[in-house]
Amino acid sequence: MITKKLCIVGLGLMGGSLALALREHVDTIVGVERHAATRQLALQNGVVDEVTADFGEGVSEADAVILATPVKSILQLLAELPKFRPEGCLVLDIGSTKAAIHHAMDNLPPQFQAVGGHPMCGKEVAGLAAADGRLFAGQTFVLCRNGRTQEEAAAFALAVVQAIGANSLWLEPERHDLLVAAVSHLPYSVSAVLMRHVAAIPDEFVFPVSASGFRDVSRLAGSDPQMMLDILLTNKTAVLQQMAQYRQQLTAFMTLLENEDETGLRRWLADAQRLHTQYRREKWG
């Protein structure tokens, strides 16, 4: 068993999936969820053993707490946690940006042990109804040390990652935020811009003539806006940096096309294809 009593705060897609994946590895799972319908669904489907809307009640007797809410909410919960657990406990978060959370964990009293985490997986749909205990299998789970990461906290985080079938990767929080800005937050932004652009075309047949290309690239535009708002605002600097570099690539592509530089355009496209093949080989084998 990883721990006797685990509290998971936030029973959306990620928190719910984590609860399902950890059912056989924890004696008791307590959920904290503000939405009544979600609390009812969590009990009906056996996602958790107990559930409450009260954060203080949920964490009061837990040996370990996993924070699975949007980033700004995690920051608030970390500030409140010492009031409800003055004796301390193990803490792991699964927020999508890490620098601000890293700083907040540093400020926890010394009786707390904490690790920052981010499972690199998800869906474009939100909510407990979409939760899947297999969501994390084979995926990268980033872990970030902070001033409150002692041996017990690190061991707990690694045990969680192993139990859900993911692969752990320790990164500095700033490095994590820069990398995910490029491979997660920028793709979402591009997808959202594309969706707005195409939807604004004044032609009733724009969606009927669309096919798998538009479907695949626009998929991320369906992500939960509140979750993405927190992510973008708490990783603003890195996201804007990646957007600026993306704009440079787009400008270079546009110049080749405007100049009808067939040789240069063919080379540019072939290089992109080569890089995609390399990505698939390195990521998926």
State the pLDDT at residue 265: 98
pLDDT of residue 199: 98
Q: What is the mean pLDDT of residues 24-50?
A: 96
Q: Are residues 273 and 212 in the same domain?
A: yes
The total of structural domains in the chain comes to 2
Average pLDDT over residues 114-138: 92
pLDDT value at residue 40: 96
Q: How confident is the model over 187-239, as pLDDT tens digits?
A: 999 999 999 999 999 999 999 999 999 999 999 999 989 889 999 999 999 99
Pairing of strands 167-170, 50-52: unpaired
pLDDT at 230: 93
pLDDT of residue 278: 97
Residue 13, pLDDT > 80, answer yes
Examine the domain organization and report whether 34 and 79 are in the same domain: yes
Range of the domain at 75: 3-171
Q: Which of 139, 171, 203 is the last residue of a domain?
A: 171
**Region 5-10: what's the mean pLDDT?**
98
Parallel, antiparallel or unpaired: strands 50-52 and 26-32: parallel
Q: On the CB side of 138, how many CA atoms lie within 13 Å of its CA? A: 4
Query: 1 falls in which pLDDT band (50, 70, 90)?
Result: confident
Reported as a single tens digit per residue, the pLDDT across 121-130 is 988 788 999 9
H helical segments located in 114-261 = 151-163, 173-180, 186-199, 212-218, 225-234, 236-258
CATH number at residue 145: 3.40.50.720
* Mean pLDDT, the chain, whole residue set: 96
What average pLDDT does range 57-61 have in this prediction? 96
CA distance 245 to 217: 19
Last residue of a domain, one of 144, 171, 198: 171
Q: What distance in Å separates the CA atoms of residue 274 and residue 285, rounded to the nearest whole number?
A: 15
Domain match, 218 and 90 both: no
Whether the pLDDT of residue 242 is over 80: the answer is yes
Whether residues 114 and 40 share a domain: the answer is yes
Closest CA to 113 of 93, 88, 82: 88
Q: Is the pLDDT of residue 10 over 80?
A: yes
Question: What mean pLDDT is predicted for residues 84-99?
Answer: 97
Residue 270: pLDDT above 90?
A: yes
pLDDT for the residue numbered 227: 87
Do 239 and 187 have their domain in common? yes
